[in-house]
């Protein structure tokens, strides 16, 4: 059977387009991203086990901006950095602060949000101030292996610092009257106080962050030396800030801009 020249050219062009399309698909950036799933409203699990929250929506927006195919998985907080180092995933988007201590082990994108720490106490508490002096001799609960726990140990040494694996656990201890106060991100504490579970307690005040301990904000975490991926995330963060996608996600969860001012 003879094929005319025009048809042959058309078939050839279609084959080339298909080949290029397959190559492009194979070259697409594929990433596995971890989050804790226990830190609402930034990241938590739905009843059917799906990740949701500000971190997750930001992560999906960054992946879309980078034209990357991303899979999100959960990882316990205290094993997050070791699992990244072991290659179990490519990045962490879990409200991880860019601290000097962590920068010795991993690399970060530029920040994607920065909100201050705060302290909550029971509504009938006799603690009147957030100062270390006011909490001297009191039991202060905080999530372990966080910038908040580091800050509590450094600045509130006169208090008994109790560490918990997750934020949910110190909240339960507060609600049951087993600790005198708790320290965490003001947004996390504020959402809890607005819920039925947090009806026990009140916000005592916010704390001025210490950059040497808290860092400049939360960033996307990648393996040490993977600056190319960190830079891709930084570029994508700037892009969604500019095109309005960041504001759309921010306003879904918060009444304030949690980015925390320009760099």
For residue 171, what is the domain's CATH number?
3.40.190.10
Q: Is 109 exposed, middle or buried (0-12, 13-18, 19+ CB in 10 A)?
A: buried
Give the C-alpha distances (Å, rounded to integers) separating 90 from 2, 36, 212. Answer: 53, 15, 26
- 221 and 107 in a single domain? The answer is yes
Please count the structural domains in the chain.
2
- Mean pLDDT over 177-201 rounds to 97
User: What single DSSP character describes residue 97?
Assistant: B
- 37 and 98 in a single domain? The answer is yes
- Supply the pTM of this predicted model: 0.86
| pLDDT number for residue 117 | 97
- 38 and 108 in a single domain? The answer is yes
117-122 β-sheet, strand order = 160-164, 139-143, 181-185, 117-122, 201-206
C-alpha 57/C-alpha 24 separation (Å) is: 26
- 83 and 144 in a single domain? The answer is no
| pLDDT number for residue 27 | 73
> Which of 10-19, 23-32, 226-235 shows the lowest mean pLDDT across its residues?
10-19
Q: How far is CA 83 from the centre of its chain?
A: 16
- 97 and 226 in a single domain? The answer is yes
- 224 and 239 in a single domain? The answer is yes
Query: Does 243 fall in a domain?
Result: yes
Name the band, by pLDDT with cuts 50, 70 and 90, for residue 26.
low
Name the band, by pLDDT with cuts 50, 70 and 90, for residue 261.
confident
Report whether 24 contacts 69 (CB < 8 A): no
Query: Does 86 fall in a domain?
Result: yes
| pLDDT number for residue 199 | 97
- Mean pLDDT over 184-209 rounds to 97
Residue 194 has pLDDT above 50, yes or no: yes
| pLDDT number for residue 39 | 97
Tens-digit pLDDT profile for residues 210-246: 999 999 999 999 999 999 999 999 999 999 999 999 9
- 189 and 131 in a single domain? The answer is yes
- Mean pLDDT over 44-55 rounds to 96
Give the C-alpha distances (Å, rounded to integers) separating 164 from 79, 158, 217, 254. Answer: 14, 19, 22, 26
Residue 49 has pLDDT above 70, yes or no: yes
- 52 and 179 in a single domain? The answer is no
- 72 and 143 in a single domain? The answer is no
| pLDDT number for residue 2 | 44
Residue 7 has pLDDT above 60, yes or no: no
Longest dimension (CA), the chain: 95
Name the band, by pLDDT with cuts 50, 70 and 90, for residue 5.
low
Domain span at 84: 29-114+216-253
Query: Does 133 fall in a domain?
Result: yes
The number of C-alpha atoms within 13 Å of 196 and in the hemisphere containing its C-beta is 0
Token pair 């990045």 in the structure block, residue = 91
Name the band, by pLDDT with cuts 50, 70 and 90, for residue 4.
low
- 41 and 55 in a single domain? The answer is yes
Positions of E strands within the chain? 29-35, 38-39, 43-45, 51-52, 68-74, 91-92, 106-113, 117-122, 139-143, 160-164, 181-185, 201-206, 218-223
- Mean pLDDT over 98-113 rounds to 97
Query: Does 261 fall in a domain?
Result: no
Residue 118 has pLDDT above 60, yes or no: yes
Query: Does 15 fall in a domain?
Result: no
- 108 and 57 in a single domain? The answer is yes
Query: Does 245 fall in a domain?
Result: yes
Residue 10 has pLDDT above 80, yes or no: no
Query: Does 135 fall in a domain?
Result: yes
Helical H runs in 33-72? 54-66
Query: Does 13 fall in a domain?
Result: no
Residue 226 in tokens: 């993977």
Query: How close are the terminal C-alpha atoms of the chain, in Å?
Result: 68
- 124 and 204 in a single domain? The answer is yes
């Amino acid at each position: 059977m003879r094929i005319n020249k025009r048809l042959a050219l058309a078939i050839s062009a279609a084959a080339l387009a298909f080949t290029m399309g397959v190559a492009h698909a194979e070259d697409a950036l594929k990433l596995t991203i971890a989050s804790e799933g226990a830190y609402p409203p930034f990241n938590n699990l739905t009843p059917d086990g799906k990740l949701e929250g500000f971190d997750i929506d930001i992560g999906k927006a960054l992946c879309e901006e980078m034209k990357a195919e991303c899979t999100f998985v959960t990882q316990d907080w205290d094993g997050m950095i070791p699992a990244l180092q072991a290659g179990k995933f490519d990045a962490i988007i879990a409200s991880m602060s860019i601290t000097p201590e962590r920068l010795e082990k991993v690399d970060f994108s530029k920040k994607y949000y920065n909100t201050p720490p705060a302290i909550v106490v029971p509504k009938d508490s006799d603690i009147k101030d957030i100062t270390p002096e006011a909490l001297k001799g009191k039991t202060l609960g905080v999530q372990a292996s966080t910038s908040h726990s580091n800050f509590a140990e450094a600045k509130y040494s006169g208090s008994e610092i109790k560490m918990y694996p997750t934020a949910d656990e110190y909240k339960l201890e507060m609600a049951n009257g087993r600790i005198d106060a708790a320290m965490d991100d003001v947004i996390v504490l504020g959402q809890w106080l607005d819920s039925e579970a947090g009806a026990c307690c009140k916000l005592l005040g916010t704390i001025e962050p210490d950059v040497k301990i808290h860092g400049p904000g939360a960033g996307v975490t990648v393996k040490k030396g993977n600056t190319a991926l960190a830079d891709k995330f930084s570029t994508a963060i700037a892009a969604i800030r500019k095109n309005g996608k960041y504001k759309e996600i921010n306003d879904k969860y918060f009444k304030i801009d949690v980015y925390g001012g320009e760099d």
